[in-house]
Amino acid sequence: MGYRCARCKEDVEIDEETSGVRCPYCGYRILLKKRGAQPKNIKAR
C-alpha cells in the first residue's frame, strides 16, 4: 500500500512490522494514504 509523507511529500512504502510508521527520508510520523484518481460511483437505492 502506498503512502506519502506529509512533510517532505516523498512516496513511501511501509513495512509496519520492521520499521514502524515513519518516513525513511525525514523521520516524520504522519503519512497520508494515496488515493486512486478515479472517483467511485455508488448507486443509491
Question: Residue 35: is it exposed, middle or buried by C-beta count within 10 angstroms (0-12/13-18/19+)?
Answer: exposed
Please indicate if the annotation marks 23 as binding a ligand: yes
Please indicate if the annotation marks 26 as binding a ligand: yes
Please indicate if the annotation marks 5 as binding a ligand: no
Query: Where does residue 11 fall: left (phi above 0), alpha (psi -120 to 50 degrees), or beta otherwise?
Result: beta
Q: Which residues are annotated as a binding site for Zn(2+)?
A: 8, 23, 26
Binding residues are: 8, 23, 26
